[in-house]
Each structure stands twice: as structure tokens, then as C-alpha cells.
Structure 1
Amino acid sequence: MKDFNTLTRAEMQIMNILWNKGCGMTTHEIIDVYPEPRPAYSTIATFMKILTHKKYVTSYKRDGGGKTYVFSPLITRAEYT
């Protein structure tokens, strides 16, 4: 098993959204299901970069989606806990 970096509370909240959804999500889709008060787009985008760097999520460009990235978890909730 990999040695994972511990997630911050905010990172964990995003990971829980991805795990609950069960499939890849764009930054806008994550914000849409985020509880109020919703963070700014740039805040979530920054967290997605951090989570990608920490190897918790992977991203790919949506077909025909221009600059839109879809983020998917690389580990399961069970693997993290």
C-alpha cells in the first residue's frame, strides 16, 4: 500500500464529493454539489491541482470540451481510511 499524504479538511470534503458521486466530475460540478457557502471556482481549481499533485485524483480533458477537465479519484474511500 502506498504511503498517502494526509488530507486537509477541505481536501477531504472534495474527495468525499468525488467518492459519493462515483464517477468523474468537472470543477463546476463539484461546486454545484458543495454545501453553502460555496467556494470560488479558483479555490476548487487550486484544490484539484493539489489533489492531483498528491496523487489522490487524476484528470483528463472531456472529449470536445475545450479546456474542461474531469477529475476522478485514484483511490477509494476504503483505501484512504
Structure 2
Amino acid sequence: MGDLIRVSDAEMKVMEKVWEKGEMITVSELISMLTKEEKEGIWIYQKVATFLTRLEKKGMVSKTKKDKLVYYYPLISREQYNEDAAKELVNTRFGGSLKGFLTAFSKNNMSKKEIEEVKEWINHFNHQ
């Protein structure tokens, strides 16, 4: 995709539910999903609709009308968004150095399983 699309924490909570649904979703369905997860915070129609409008302007979602209901759907996958976010993190915080990024994690005592997963990932690129 390229440049990371900036979203607020609240917009990301809404976006996560859009991705979780995996298909078109209404504002009412989103409110139901959001309120089940969070006891605190009031997810009202206007608030969620505003976040969706912002996400639409940012190119994260689009909408369609069907049977008098407005449905929203993602324009970017969770995987693509996370890939863009990871690339930006490595580029901005670690000067583009994947080694620097991995070194930061190794200071937090990676588990043996995580170390093996990184080794497998590296080996994948060595055999291409």
C-alpha cells in the first residue's frame, strides 16, 4: 500500500470490528460488537457513524446502501495495514534497520519458540 494511514485509537477499535466481521457491517452491528467487548465507554450511533465517516475519508472503509441500510466494508486488509505499520515503525524508529528492530526485542528475553520462529523466517529468505 505505501504510507501508513493514521487512525485514532477509537477509529482503530471500530476498524478492528469491521475486520473481525469479515463482511459488510452496519453501524448497529458495530455498536453491538463494541459494547459486548467494553463495559466502559458509550458507543452511540452518532459516535460510531462519525468514526466510520473518518475511516471512509482516510480510505480504510467504503459503504454501500442495501434495503435502506448502510453497510460498511474494509478497503484495506488487517494484514496490509499491519504490514504498513510495521514498515513505518522500522523505518522511523530504527532507521530502516530490521536488525535494530529485532535487537530491541531480544533485550526483552524472547522465548525459545519466538527465536525459532525468527530463525525459520530468516531461513525462508535464504532459500529463495
Q: Which residue of 2 aligns with 1:17?
A: 17
Partner of 1:8: 8
- Structure 1: state its 5+ residue gaps: none
- Could you list the per-position Cα deviations for residues 30-78 of structure 1 after superposition, in whole angstroms to 9, with x for gaps in the alignment? 001103334111000111110111010010001xx22x21000100111
Q: Matches of 2:58 and 2:44 in 1, distance apart?
A: 21
TM-score (norm 2): 0.57
Match of 2:77 in 1: 76
What 5-or-longer segments of structure 2 have no aligned partner? 83-128
Which of 57, 60, 69 does residue 53 from structure 1 map onto?
57
**Distance in 1 between residues matched to 2:4 and 2:59, nearest whole Å:** 9
Greater percentage in helix? 2
* Map of 1:40 onto structure 2: 44
In 2, the alpha carbon distance for the partners of 1:2 and 1:60 equals 26
Q: Spell out structure 1 runs of 4+ moving beyond 4 A.
A: none
TM-score by length of 1: 0.87
Secondary structure of the 2:72 match is strand
Q: Using CA pairs below 8 Å that are at least 6 residues apart, which structure has the higher relative contact order? A: 1
